[in-house]
Structure 1
């Protein structure tokens, strides 16, 4: 029974991966349309120092946004800022330290950002880890669940007031959360969100990405009910050739290398759907969507279960010490 519980998440994840690769074999990455200038708008991009996060930050800055790159490596972050500035991009770009493995760090980041008295129009929850060795965050949460999901949950909740105040009807603030196709194969155990009964890195990663979609939809439901000028959407970048795959097992890394060169998206292509969600006119005022390859797509059936959404929200608030609303 234990062996089956360990193997099934692996099989489900790789089956989803094969489906995505087949899709990418026969379908090119969509081309971003000409996007409107974003002068005067402010964005935060987590994990914006490299990979898809960097491409997202760079592109939003090229549209005139003031972009705050949030990451856990000051050296990488400052190098990313310099690189973007060297391109002569018109938007302002800066780095602020954020460690999503620490709820204290998330709160400190928010305090530092608020002290700047800036508006906030776009939050891109992009940072993530995949298939890391079993471990805990500073607060004792399983690493995938803690960093990929809970850290972003707290960050979003603490910045929600700024997003609401900055948005206007006809010019909404936008929350863009990067999920993954692996959520289709995920199983959510509300009694064991930390995976302590039978840990699987594959299952933990998939569950964290499923949790992000559930959070996205529940958040949009609450924003709509309150009439707030903020939208919340989840995006799926596809399979992208980034450092995220560095924790694959040795045989999988060997197979991945030649396949990635031919069939994986580039970081710029992977970032394109997040960029679209953050700035495109056609998504103005539209939330509660799962976007893949530039189009609205149906997510896993469980993500539309309002009871599951509400229960995860309730437990998440309790875990991070926020009052449940």
Structure 2
């Protein structure tokens, strides 16, 4: 019984924080990625989830400056409108707006997509950025564990419902792109198809890692499906590194206080964290077959063996379709 408790609760904590120390050491002795000068993106339309603060806000801000019409999808209307005002004050020509989107509600996701489709706009870029980390045990509106429901399943549904528009908006030489913001935490995650909802035992640390691995598996499988179908659309995942944002607020208080103390020294700024996300979304170097993969520190990286397991990718994909009643 004690061994089982250690395995379920303590081991994920140890594995995640050891990984965090490793990532911080890498960041300490390496230069943060910088975004090269990007061409203008006038006429393009992007959706960025969780774009009201942190990395997402920097992504929206930079895209707006390059002429992209950006739609922020987020839960908090007041914060969303405030973010839009700040960007428009900085760039008078910015085309940026906020639309309510709660990824913890599948109905909200469907309403968001329906509202977007009614506008008959193209969609060239989808950035799946919003997420939760180490939240207390709880369920989404539809009964899913929060990390799984928000970080993975909500984005799965959003991407699926927007696929036709993304495909139609791309063309040879100018592919549409789906960019999913992942985390190095996927390296210590695992996929248990018989317990995706973490019902057998709950660890916030494990649940977060599992959701990020699921997100990466989805991104990889989606890219393969798009390539096989010959569609002008690519899918990739990005690890922005350890970034000084509010994502860490659910950590155990002593650790959170320690994190705040060292964040300014060792963590990347939101703008630095956004650099690789923006590169994956905008760079001409990643056009066509050069898109896809897992990106970290400004370049494509190899990652854990489960990420490349085609059967695991397919099983998770088909399970997700069943959970969402998609065909």
TM-score normalised by the chain length of structure 2: 0.97
Aligned Cα root-mean-square deviation (Å): 0.8
Given that 1:123 and 1:175 are in contact with CA atoms closer than 8 Å, whether structure 2 keeps it comes out as yes
- Residue 210 of structure 1 corresponds to 213
1:310 matched to which residue of 2?
Answer: 314
The Cα shift of 1:12 comes to 1.1
Matching residue of 2:115: 112
- Within-5 A mapping of 1:262-301: 262-285=265-288, 286-301=290-305
In structure 1, the partner of 2:157 is 154
What are the equivalent positions in structure 2 for 1:20-39 lying under 5 Å apart?
20-39=23-42
Q: How far apart, in 2, do the equivalents of 1:31 and 1:89 lie?
A: 25
Q: Cα distance, 1:295 vs. partner?
A: 0.3
Alpha-carbon distance in 2 for matches of 1:7, 1:16: 14
Counterpart of 1:6 (choices 5, 9, 14) is: 9
1:261 aligns with 2:264: yes
Residue number among 230, 238, 252 corresponding to 2:241 in the alignment: 238
Q: 8 Å contact 1:238–1:265 — kept in the other structure?
A: yes
Distance in 1 between residues matched to 2:138 and 2:79, nearest whole Å: 24
In structure 1, C-alpha distance between the alignment counterparts of 2:291 and 2:280, rounded to whole Å: 9
Q: How does 1:37-48 map to 2 (within 5 A)?
A: 37-48=40-51
Q: C-alpha separation between the residues in 2 aligned to 1:72 and 1:250?
A: 25
**SS of alignment partner, residue 34 of structure 1:** coil
User: What is the CA deviation profile of residues 18-72 of structure 1, one whole-angstrom value per residue up to 9, with x for unaligned ones?
Assistant: 1100001001111110001100000000000111100000101111000001000
Q: Taking structure 1 as reference, are residues 89 and 31 closer, same or farther at Cα in structure 2, changes over 3 Å only?
A: farther
Q: How many residues align?
A: 323
How big is each residue's C-alpha offset from its partner over 1:142-170, in whole Å with a ceiling of 9 and x where there is no partner? 00000000000000000000000000010
Distance 2:160 2:94 in 1: 26
Which runs of 4 or more aligned residues in structure 1 lie more than 3 Å from their structure 2 counterparts after TM superposition? none
Output the CA distance in 1 between the equivalents of 2:263 and 2:31.
14
**Pair 1:49 & 2:48 matched:** no
Deviation at 1:89, TM superposition (A): 4.8
CA distance, structure 1, for counterparts of residue 54 and residue 223 of structure 2: 27
Tell me if the contact between 1:21 and 1:263 (Cα under 8 Å) persists in the aligned partners.
Answer: yes
The runs of 5 or more residues in structure 1 that have no matched partner are: none
For each residue in 1:57-106, what CA deviation from the matched residue of structure 2 results, as whole angstroms up to 9, or x when unmatched? 01011110000010001101100000000002533001110000000000
Indicate if the aligned counterparts of 2:46 and 2:124 stay in contact, CA closer than 8 A. Answer: yes
Given that 1:188 and 1:207 are in contact with CA atoms closer than 8 Å, whether structure 2 keeps it comes out as yes
Extract unaligned runs of 5+ from structure 2.
none
Tell me the secondary structure at the aligned position of residue 194 of structure 2: coil
Q: 1:132 aligns with which of 132, 135, 139?
A: 135
Change (3 A) 1:224 1:89: farther
- Pick the aligned partner of 1:83 from 83, 86, 90: 86
Q: Would you say the 8 A contact 1:67–1:94 is kept in 2?
A: yes
